């Protein structure tokens, strides 16, 4: 009897994880594309603010995104569904890698593709409209994302293994398919290319 209860408990806990993950995927799938402005605040583990920033985000599902930070320093992270381009004008360098190498941008991969195999590496807990995505191997940091039932993303937090938190609040959102020009990166003249593909 104890074994049966233990197995039943495990099944229930697994279904709770699956349900939360399914709910999150279903919500994200409701929006095929969107534009948003964002504000960023980075805090240390002891809640000291160490950076604030602003930027814009364009997304088309699956796997197209343009994450442009305008303050404090300009950086562009662009996915064209094949490669990811990371461009920092201040150092005149662009790094390019294939989409499946993008370990540092996993949250964007999760947001932009509900069928990406990277979902298998996370378990999901749900509290109202807030979803916590923790890696199953417990070796990396984790993500917290607020997604309304309409599919609109309100905010998200990237929590590093050392406790540092980067919080992003989205505003001025418009839903709908984004012009593909936002997902094409042209290498500026004189810029060093670090091709990691």
Please check the confidence at residue 193 and state whether its pLDDT lies above 90. yes
Neighbours of 69 (CB within 10 A): 18
| 151/12 Cα distance (integer angstroms) | 26
Question: What is the mean pLDDT of the segment spanning 147-159?
Answer: 94
**Rounded to a whole number, what is the distance in angstroms from the first to the last CA of the chain?**
55
Report phi then psi at 167, rounded to 5: -105, 130
Among 32, 40, 56, 21, CA closest to 151:
32
| 3/6 Cα distance (integer angstroms) | 5
Domains and CATH numbers, the chain: 2-195 (2.50.20.10)
Taking a C-beta distance cutoff of 8 angstroms, is the pair 141, 159 a contact?
yes
Question: What is the mean pLDDT of the segment spanning 120-143?
Answer: 90
Instruction: Note the pLDDT tens digit of each residue in 99-119.
Output: 877 666 688 888 888 888 889
Please check the confidence at residue 135 and state whether its pLDDT lies above 60. yes
């Amino acid at each position: 009897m104890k074994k049966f209860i233990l197995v039943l408990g495990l099944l229930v806990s697994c279904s709770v994880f699956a349900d939360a993950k399914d709910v999150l995927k279903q919500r994200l799938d409701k929006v095929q594309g969107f534009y948003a402005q964002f504000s960023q605040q980075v805090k240390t583990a002891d809640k000291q603010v160490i950076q604030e920033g602003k930027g814009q985000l364009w997304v088309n599902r699956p796997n197209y995104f343009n994450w442009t930070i305008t303050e404090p320093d300009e950086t562009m992270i662009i996915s064209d569904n094949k490669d990811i381009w990371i461009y920092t004008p201040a150092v005149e360098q662009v790094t390019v890698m294939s989409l499946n190498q993008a370990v540092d941008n996993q949250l964007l991969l999760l947001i932009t593709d509900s069928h990406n195999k990277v979902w298998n590496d996370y378990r999901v807990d749900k509290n109202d409209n807030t979803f916590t995505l923790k890696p199953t191997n417990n070796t990396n940091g984790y993500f917290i994302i607020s997604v309304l039932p309409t599919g609109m993303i309100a905010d998200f937090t990237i929590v590093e293994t050392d406790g540092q938190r980067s919080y992003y609040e989205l505003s001025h959102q418009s839903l709908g398919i984004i012009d593909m020009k936002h997902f094409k990166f042209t290498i500026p003249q004189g810029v060093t290319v670090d091709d990691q593909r």
